[in-house]
Structure 1
Amino acid sequence: MKIIGRINIEIYKCATNKKIITDDVVLTENRIHHIIERRGLEFYNKYKPEFKNIIENPDYIFKDIKADTVLASKSVDSDGKNVNIVLRLAVEGDDPCYKNSIITAIKENEKRFLQRLRNGVILYKRVDCEE
Structure 2
Amino acid sequence: MGAADRKAGDKAVRYVGKIDRGIYSCVAGDILTDEVVITDERVEHIKERHPGDYERFVGYIPDIIAEPDYIISANKDNTAVILKEIEDNGEKFKLVLRLKVKADPVEYKNSVLTFWHIGNVTWMKSLKNKKILYRRE
TM-score, normalised by the number of residues in structure 1: 0.89
Unaligned regions of 5+ residues in structure 2, if any?
1-12
| Percent identity of paired positions between Structure 1 and Structure 2 | 35
CA contact (8 A) 1:84 1:105 kept: yes
Contact 1:80–1:109 (CA<8 Å) still a contact in 2? Answer: no
Q: Which aligned pairs between 1:1-131 and structure 2 lie closer than 5 A?
A: 1-16=13-28, 18-40=29-51, 42-76=52-86, 80-127=90-137
Greater strand share, structure number = 2
Structure 1 unaligned runs (5+)?
none
Contact 2:97 2:110 in 1 (8 A): yes
Instruction: Tell whether the 8 Å contact from 2:53 to 2:116 is kept in structure 1 after alignment.
Output: no
CA contact (8 A) 1:89 1:99 kept: yes
User: How many Å separate the matches in 1 of 2:89 and 2:125?
Assistant: 18
Q: Paired residues, what number?
A: 125
Relative to total residues, which structure has the larger helix share, 1 or 2?
1
| Structure-2-length-normalised TM-score | 0.85
CA RMSD of aligned residues (A): 1.5
Distance 2:34 2:64 in 1: 14
Quick one: distance in 2 between partners of 1:83 and 1:112? 10
Tell me by how many angstroms 1:70 deviates.
1.0
**TM-aligned CA distance change 1:84 to 1:59, over 3 Å:** same
CA distance in structure 2 between the aligned counterparts of 1:109 and 1:54, rounded to whole angstroms = 16
